[in-house]
């Protein structure tokens, strides 16, 4: 660590001291950056300031661990927020850098959760409702009988309608949806959510095919239509059809192939 960085990591003294023990005194460095034009010297000084404040950014990131995101990714997001805070901070406004940096870093972390970690797509409005409902739920959960707050109580605390509260409560599970292998509540036989999902019905394809050839069937000669009916609806063999109609089995086979080809071509032409 350079001497300049060591100086910056000394705890602040006097009225500008921040309650965090690792808050460095970088007031001189910010004053110097304000005087310097854009260039390598200013950028190098900015990097040293970021390094000096990195422990605080890491601590802010750790406050959001165990929420579905790795601590390494959270620290990267917090570092990005810190870089933005260092670039945007203006000491002329009279606010200590910590008072400006903390909400900037926390805001960056919250935006990361809001925009990237919803497993299910949730509209922005519902995400905001979720945050307000979650905060009110936490505040109202400290009752004597440990009873969870009702939707009406949360609505009164937040100023939302009960419908909005219910929408926010439903979105509270958006980060961690249940697995399809999760057993249903009250099921003792291992019945899971996956068991409630329907499978694709193969008969649907046959319905589509039948509707596609229906116009062509109505235009067929009576004998060809009768042959198709006996073969595909009555499940008769070609030999039995030939015997019933008084023609050869080979002739029945040629009529079936020719008629099916004609119907297929007509259905494809009408579809296009």
- 133 close to 172: Cβ distance less than 8 angstroms: yes
**Is 118-177's fold the same as 203-271's?**
yes
- 154 close to 165: Cβ distance less than 8 angstroms: yes
Q: Where are the domains of the chain?
A: 3-116, 118-177, 203-271
- Please write the tens of the pLDDT for every residue from 147-205: 778 888 899 988 999 899 888 887 776 655 666 666 666 666 666 766 777 666 666 77
Q: Following DSSP, what letter does each residue of 224-240 receive, concatenated? A: HHHHHIIIIIS---HHH
Is the domain spanning 3-116 CATH 3.40.190.10? The answer is no
- Please write the tens of the pLDDT for every residue from 238-271: 999 999 999 999 999 999 999 989 888 888 887 6
CATH fold of 118-177, please? Answer: Arc Repressor Mutant, subunit A (1.10.10)
CA distance 88 to 92: 12
- Lowest average pLDDT, out of 49-63, 130-144, 219-233, goes to 130-144
Residues contacting 68, CB < 8 A, separation 6+: 117, 175, 176
Round the CA-based radius of gyration of the chain to a whole number and report it: 36
CA nearest to 76, candidates 48, 35, 108: 108
More confident residue, 207 or 227: 227
Query: Does the structure show a pLDDT above 60 at 5?
Result: no
Other beta carbons within 10 angstroms of residue 147's beta carbon come to 10
pLDDT score, position 85:
93
CATH fold of 203-271, please? Answer: Arc Repressor Mutant, subunit A (1.10.10)
- 203 close to 159: Cβ distance less than 8 angstroms: no
- Chain centroid to Cα 183, Å, comes to 23
């Amino acid at each position: 660590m350079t001497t300049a960085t060591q100086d910056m990591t000394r705890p602040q003294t006097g009225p500008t001291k921040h309650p965090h023990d690792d808050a460095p005194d970088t007031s001189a460095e910010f004053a110097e950056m304000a005087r310097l034009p854009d260039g390598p010297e200013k950028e190098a000084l900015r990097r040293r300031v970021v390094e000096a404040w990195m422990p605080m950014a890491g601590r802010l990131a750790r406050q959001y661990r165990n929420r579905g995101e790795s601590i390494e990714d959270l620290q990267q997001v917090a570092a990005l927020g810190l870089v933005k805070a260092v670039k945007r901070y203006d000491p002329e406004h009279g606010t200590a850098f910590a008072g400006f940096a903390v909400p900037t870093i926390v805001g960056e972390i919250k935006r990361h959760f809001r925009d990237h970690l919803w497993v299910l797509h949730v509209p922005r409005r519902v995400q905001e409702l979720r945050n307000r409902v979650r905060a009110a739920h936490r505040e109202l959960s400290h009752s004597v009988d440990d009873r969870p707050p009702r939707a009406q109580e949360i609505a009164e605390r937040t100023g939302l309608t009960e419908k909005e509260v219910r929408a926010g409560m439903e979105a509270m599970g958006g980060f961690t949806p249940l697995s399809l292998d999760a057993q249903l509540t009250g099921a003792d036989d291992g019945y899971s959510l996956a068991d409630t999902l329907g499978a694709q019905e193969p008969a649907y394809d046959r319905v589509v095919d039948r509707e596609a050839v229906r116009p062509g069937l109505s235009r067929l000669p009576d004998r060809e239509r009768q042959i198709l009916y006996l073969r595909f609806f009555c499940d008769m063999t070609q030999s039995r059809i030939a015997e019933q109609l008084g023609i050869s089995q080979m002739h029945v086979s040629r009529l079936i192939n020719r008629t099916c080809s004609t119907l297929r071509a007509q259905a494809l032409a009408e579809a296009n």
